[in-house]
Structure 1
C-alpha cells in the first residue's frame, strides 16, 4: 500500500481482519498472504490513485497555467505528488487527499484478487497447480557425539531466490524462523505414543522444540534477486514456509556423518534424527567398534 501510493511505510495502518469489513476473507496461511492480499490491496490502490491523480492534475495546472491537465503524467513518490513535465512544482500527498475530500470524491476502495491460471486435472495428471516456485539451496555442517548421539548444528548457509524482496528484514526473519522450525522437524520433534495409542510427547518437556542453544554459531542467509520474476506482487515470492525444507540439509549431513563409520555405507535414518535414533543407527553400522578405541577428550564424529 505504501509503495503503490508513494507514501511512508509508517503512515499505513493495518486493521484486524473482520468479516464486518470484508465478508470474503482468506486466512494468512500457505505462504499466500502477500500474494493474495497484497495484489488485492495494490489493485484497490491503483483505482484510488487514478482518482487522486485527476485531482492533483487539476491542482497543479491551476498554479501552472501553461500546463494542460493530464493525470497520466502525475507521479506519487515519498509523500510528494508532481507532474513529471514540471517536477520542480510539488504537492504534499495530504494536500491532494484533502482536496479530494473537499470535492466529495471517494477516498475508499476495495480490491479483489485470485491467483490466475491455476488448474489441475487429477485424472490426467495434467495442469498448472502452482503459480510459481520459491527455490533455494542450503549447506549444513553438524557434529555428533558417538557415545551419546548428541547432535550440534555448527554451520548453516542458505541461499533463496525470492524474486525481488518487498521488505528484506521481514524476509530474513521469515527465513531464519522457517529454517529453525524445520530443524526441529528433522532432529528433535518426535511423536511418541503409548501402547494404548495415547500421545506421550504432548508438552515441551517431552516434545522437544528447538531453543536458542540450537541456533548454529555460523548462520548465513543470502537472497538471490530474480528480476525476471514479474508475475507476482512487486516481483516478489513468498518466503514464509519454503525455508523449512532447506533444513533437510541438516538431516542429510547427519546421514553423511553416519556413513563415515563404515566405508561410506548409507545408513537408514528416520526423521527426526534424535539422539536416540542416531545411537540406534550407529549401533547397526558395521565397524563401529573400530571407533571406540580412538582416544579423544571429546569424542565427536
Structure 2
C-alpha cells in the first residue's frame, strides 16, 4: 500500500514540476451504498475480512457520509483509501474544472496523516492536478478546497480522485484508531475564466472580438450574459473542424467573462470561435500569426 501511495505522490510531483460551476462526482454525497461499499467508488474493502471504508450516519448533509478507519486484520494494519469511479481510471469529465472541494473530519493517531488529490487526464495523459494535506479536524466537519493546476490547454476527459489516510513515515498501514469522515465532494469552477467585476448587468448576449488580433500565441476572449445560461465556447479551424472546447455546457451566472486562449501548438491561420447560449449562437474570426 505504501508503494502505491508513493507512486501516486510521485505522479503528482511530476505534474507540478512541469507546471510553469460544479460537476457531479459519482455519489459525492455518499447517499448510495451497495453491499457495504459506496456506489461509484473503489475501496480496499474485503467483506468478511477487513472493511476500512464504511457508511456513517455522522454526515455533513443528507443521511450518510463515508468513514475510513485504519483496521487491524490478523496483525496487519490496513489504511483506508477511496477512489472515485468504477475503475482505476476514475470517471468521465468534459470541463477544465478549477477546484476539488468537500467536507471532512479527521482524527489521527501516531504519525498518520490524511491527503486528498485529483488528477485530470486527456486520453490517459495527465494535464492537471491538485493535492492537499488535510489537517486534523476533530470537533466537527471542516471544509477543504483544492485548486487544480493545468499544464496544458487541453480539456480533460477523465478525472482521478483519491482520499487516503495512514502512516507516511515508511511503515506500511498506519495506527489503529485513526479515522476520517468525508462528505459532499464536488468539482467546481472553470479554470482560466475570470468574471469581470462590473456592477452593470449586461444588456444582451455579446461575444466580443478577441484581442490582440492577430495574435501569437495567446489572445483574450470576452463575452457577456444578461441572464444565467448554459454556455459553450468552441474554437474551430478554417475547415470547420473543432479545435478546442474552452467552455463545455457550463452553467454560468449573469455577468461578463474573460478568458485567455493559447494556440502554441497550432499552425498559423484563421480560426473561428463560437459562443452558444441556449438557442443563441455568435461567431467571430481570429488570426494566429507565427
Same fold judged by TM-score > 0.5? no
Q: Which has the higher helix share?
A: 1
Higher alpha-carbon Rg? 1
Q: Which has the higher strand share?
A: 2
TM-score for both structures, normalised by structure 1: 0.27
